[in-house]
Amino acid sequence: MTILICLLDHSLLISTQTSAGRFHYHHEPSAHQQQQKADQVSGLPGQPPVSFKHFAGYVTVNKTHGRALFYWFFEAINNPQDKPLLLWLNGGPGCSSVGYGATEELGPFFVQKGSEPKLKFNPYTWNNAANLLFVESPVGVGFSYTNTSEDIGQLGDKITAEDSYNFLINWFQRFPEYKSHDFYIAGESYAGHYVPQLSELIVDRNQNLSKENYINLKGFMIGNAVIDDETDQKGMIDYAWDHAVISDRLYQDIKNECDFSEKKLSRLCNKLIDEYFDVYEIIDMYSLYTPTCLSNNSSATTATRQSRTMQGAPTLFSRLDVRHKRPAGYDPCASEYSYVYLNRPDVQKALHANVTKIPYPWTHCSDNITFWEDAPPSILPVIGKLVASGLRVWIYSGDTDGRVPVTSTRYALKKLGLKINEDWTPWYNNKQVGGWRVAYDGLMFVTIRGAGHQVPEFAPKQSLLLVEHFLANRTLPSKPF
């Protein structure tokens, strides 16, 4: 007698006999299918009905230390099987891609104000263009955790890239149907470090990997990105003076006293920089021309707008660190709504989050990360290497951001030294100018007119147009349409 076992789509075909003597066959779900089912989100409080699936949960990145990163994944609205996969990373260092990217910038659900949980569908969500993956990285950020407390004091660029890479390897094992899709990475602010460093790690590891763990990376895109300490800071000061934020006297004093090419700045320079940052206590540094949040919700305000100094962080972000201060956007209090929402036990249960019951509230930016082990002063060599490797590289800049302004990015790109193939050309969002673009040899630079630090929030329609053209490798419209 021959016994035949059929393996179909990695699932075991099992037969059961009914009382009538007939055999019924069914698929026994594979391990990854079981895990996907466990991660699928249903009953998310306040969620509007949608046609696409979304998943959330944890992926272990280091078994020995018990490190796990929290993710939230949204299938593309239409034809997910044909769309690329896009990973989005927010910066900080130490800020949440779920709190900012997913629920306030480019995800499908935005948290609304009110005593009851309510999510509004975002018509400009980036899962119109791609399967969209958000990860809270490194450990200690948001719901991501480690069982080894010493890990928090050893975080830096290298461990963040390594853990993010391990996350991807393990996530693709859970979602193998996406391994063959074109893969892209995007992010903003300090993700100007995260995204190129992770891309470099993937490119280097792909050289010696079996097909099983090969990551099909095609390109990356970074916005208002921290990429070079010297030009980031020089541009920040020049932009503030040019936009009538600081006085002639303060501007000249900083220019005379501060040498931003030096690793350590003088005591007088530090004092002048503090005076510079004082101006941004009364206006929004991340969006010069929008209102600030005037809220009475003290706990949420403290959690999302706290300022402090981070030891060991890159020079730009180590001084009077205002990374907790929320850009204004269309609702300057958006972060307070998402802070309250993501701390609700029923929301955390629906997202399969906070399974370890962390002893502190979820926050947009981690108060536990007070030291940053390593951060190169410039990411330009990495970007140059990746351009030369043939990856698609786009850098964009909202032009009303005072923190990592368009001026800084233009200085950095000049320092990178790529040949300009097409200089300063307008692009259009329907009938209006959406911004300008410069086509370098192997790199596209795009400005977004009127947008602050977090471009998808301030300019949702333009940003969707941007990502659609990036993913399709198409030039942005050069004429009104």
Could you give phi then psi for residue 80, rounded to 5 degrees?
Answer: -60, -25
Tokens representing 116? 């009851």
Strand segments (E) across 189-245: 217-223
How many CB atoms within 10 Å of residue 157? 21
Residue 401 known to be catalytic? yes
Phi first, then psi: give them for residue 13, nearest 5 degrees.
-85, 115
Q: CA 403, CA 30: separation in Å to the nearest integer?
A: 48
The counts of H helices and E strands in the chain are 14, 16
- Residue 367, by phi and psi: left (phi above 0), alpha (psi -120 to 50) or beta? alpha
Task: List, as one string, the DSSP characters of 42-88.
Answer: ---TTPPP-SS-EEEEEEEEETTTTEEEEEEEE--SS-GGGS-EEEE
Contact indicator for 473, 420 with CB cutoff of 8 Å: no
Residue 316 DSSP one-character state: H
Q: Please give the structure tokens belonging to residue 74.
A: 């949204």
Q: Strand 23-28 relative to strand 119-121: parallel, antiparallel, unpaired?
A: unpaired
Q: What share of the chain is helix, strand, coil (3-state, %, to 5)?
A: 35, 20, 40
Question: In 217-339, which ranges are E strands?
Answer: 217-223
- Residues 6+ away with beta carbon under 8 Å from 432: 480
Q: Please name which of 443, 321, 445, 373 lies closest in space to residue 193, comparing C-alpha atoms.
A: 373
Q: Active-site residue among 54, 181, 193, 453? A: 453
Residue type, 253: D
For residue 14, the one-letter residue type is I
Residues 431 and 445 sit within 8 Å (Cβ to Cβ): no
Among residues 96, 137, 189, 335, which one is catalytic?
189
Catalytic position from the list 97, 137, 401, 408: 401
SS3 for 174?
A: helix
Q: Which residues are catalytic?
A: 189, 401, 453
